[in-house]
Chain A
């Protein structure tokens, strides 16, 4: 890709708080960053901690469509073991990945977004951690340690983990929730044991209709509903559904579910339960708050192939597979480019696991579309990079639109599909460049 052109925003270190210990027992510094304005990134002198240099590369670049309050409260902040990410909330931690990290198909672990519902997040000790596998519709119960899992046949899959509410902050009218911009997603190479192999250890009865997951993160008060999620038995038995203990060749970061999490390629992040400690086969639909009414989409509004029928009601259904989508990542909104010189527009496209077939770009408000060149294919669940070179002639504002289509012919929408929780935002992006 050609030299990136961002609207450059400084990242300055403001505060260096005390050391904290994270899951792997390492003491790391917590650093807080705030975006300022200026031309060049400045690293504060005397900076302590890990890789402050990384801070130079990122910028807040908050979309102007976000709620005013979101734009006021979001800052770059580094959680222990993480690079500075866009902090939306401190407790529970909700941090999104700046778009600069989406120029490659694989998102680095330390830049991978963080999303929690419950603020009670223990530091799990890998040596004592275990997952209990059983449930009413299992023939027995067993406990697996991390070593047990690692002794099982290992599977790797490159898959996108995207929050159901990614881009919620771009909904108009706005809807309440974590007001994500573009970065509540990431793509990693996950390695782990097949969930089906784990379930085979206890044996699942024919009556089982759902597999239910619980994690080590817990409510703050007893009355608060614990984060319990289920998937249909057929999805649990697919070859690509894993209990992953590695992410891009490393142990999972604490804030991404160390030491093991559920990976459901193609489906939104809500099912990818972190710090998983319990897996149950059940004969009835799971009824907890996080299955219903949370994480629901209106029936029939979205082009969804994989349905979760045991959870469907007359009006809504659980969110399942991701809708086809794309994001231009070579340039931020309002980036400056030079007239009459070649500009390479790059980005990523993804979907719910059918695979990307084409990405098209338009520079005339969608009247005509030109085909972008696709990058390496890392599998049907992965980000697929794309690139298209153009030579803007007229000075002034130039809108560039990107539209991905998947292998079953689904494409991005031109109008947002409204829904109460602000899910599945895949409206075609219109990125404004300043040609000078």
Chain B
């Protein structure tokens, strides 16, 4: 896990956050920290809010899977579940 965290930190440095995205505040709740470090490593978190609240649980699961399988996000299974649960609970239909 520590290695993962270090790798993600390196990613975050490789593509710095865009000016302004600090204004994006997702809902507080269990799993938000995982969303911020994992999802936020590759894209701003407004992607989540923009795509809400219409996705149902199946759609959010598919999105998380797509980010890992298609886009290569280095997220382990337990974190993926926490992230999907957070999205379903806070940004789902």
Contacts and interface: CB of A to CB of B under 8 A. Distances in A.
A220 B51 contact: no
Nearest to A174: B54
Q: Which 6 A-B pairs have the closest CB atoms?
A: A223-B72, A69-B52, A90-B21, A91-B44, A90-B18, A90-B44
B14 A88 contact: no
B42 A220 contact: yes
A116 B92 CA distance: 25
Contact of A220 (B24, B41, B91): B41
Contacts of B21: 90-91
Contacts of A286: none
B71 A176 contact: no
Contacts of A72: 49
Interface string B34-67: 0000000111101111111111000100010000
Given A67-B50, A72-B49, A221-B41, 9 more contacts: A30-B19, A69-B53, A70-B49, A77-B20, A90-B20, A90-B46, A119-B43, A176-B55, A224-B71
Contacts of A32: 19-20, 23
A177 B46 CA distance: 12
Interface string A218-242: 0111111100000000000000000
B17 interface: yes
A68 B52 contact: yes
A91 B71 contact: no
Interface string A165-209: 000000001101111000000000000000000000000000000
Contact of B18 (A73, A93, A223): A93
Size band of the interface chain A makes with B: 35 or more
Contact of B54 (A67, A90, A91, A119): A67
A170 to B, nearest CB: 13
A24 interface: no
Size band of the interface chain B makes with A: 20 to 34
Given A69-B91, A87-B20, A90-B44, A222 B72 contact: yes
Interface string B57-84: 0010001000000111110000000000
Nearest to B71: A224
A100 to B, nearest CB: 22
Centre residue among B41, B47, B70 by max chain A CB count within 10 A: B47
Nearest to B70: A289
A23 to B, nearest CB: 16
Nearest to B21: A90
Centre residue among A18, A67, A93, A178 by max chain B CB count within 10 A: A67
Interface string A365-401: 0000000000000000000000000000000000000
A40 interface: no
B11 interface: yes
Given A120-B14, A176-B63, A69 B71 contact: no
Given A32-B20, A120-B15, A220-B15, A73 B71 contact: no
A73 B27 CA distance: 12
Nearest to A92: B43
B23 A220 contact: no
Given A73-B46, A88-B46, A90-B24, A179 B51 contact: yes
A72 B26 CA distance: 11
A91 B18 contact: yes
17 contacts: A30-B20, A67-B52, A67-B54, A70-B51, A73-B49, A87-B46, A89-B43, A89-B46, A89-B47, A90-B19, A90-B24, A91-B17, A91-B21, A92-B43, A221-B11, A221-B72, A223-B72
Interface string A19-63: 010000000001010000000000000000000000000000000
